[in-house]
Structure 1
Amino acid sequence: MSASRGAEWVAGYVAAWQSNDPADIGALFTDDAVYRTSPDSPPRVGRDAIVAGWLEDLDEPGTWAFDWSIAHERDDLLLVQGRTVYPAAKDYVNLWIVRLEPDGRATEFTEWYMPRDHKG
Structure 2
Amino acid sequence: MTTEQVERWLEGYRDAWETRNPDAAAALFTQDALYREQPYEEPYRGRDGVHAYWSRVTATQSDIRFRYGRAVVSGSHAAVEWWVTLRNDGAEATLAGEFFLVFDADGLVRELREYWHFSPGLLEPPAGWGQ
Same fold by TM-score greater than 0.5:
yes
Where does residue 10 of structure 1 map in the other structure?
Answer: 10
1:112 aligned residue: 115
**Does structure 1 retain, via aligned residues, the 8 Å contact 2:18–2:64?**
no
Distance 1:52 1:20 in 2: 12
* Mapping of residues 68-107 of structure 1, within 5 Å: 68-86=68-86, 88-107=91-110
Number of positions where the alignment pairs a residue of Structure 1 with one of Structure 2? 119
Contact 2:18–2:65 (CA under 8 A) maintained in structure 1: no
Match of 2:49 in 1: 49
Instruction: Give the conservation status (yes or no) of the 8 Å contact 1:19–1:61.
Output: no
Structure 2 unaligned spans of 5+: 124-131
Structure 1 residue 10 displacement after superposition: 0.5
Identity %: 24
For 2:37, give the aligned amino acid. T
- Which residue identity does 2:106 align to in structure 1? D
SS of 2:63's equivalent in the other structure is coil
Q: 1:58 to 1:44 in 2, by over 3 A?
A: same
Shift in Å at residue 62 of structure 1? 4.3
TM-score by length of 1: 0.84
- Is there any run of 5+ residues in structure 1 with no aligned partner, and where? none
Output one character per residue of 1:66-101: Cα deviation in whole Å (capped at 9) or x when no partner.
Answer: 211134112111111011112542112111111111
Question: Whole-Å Cα distance in 2 between the matches of residues 20 and 64 of structure 1?
Answer: 9
Cα separation, partners in 2 of 1:19 and 1:85, compared to 1, 3 Å: closer
TM-score normalised by structure 2 residue count: 0.78
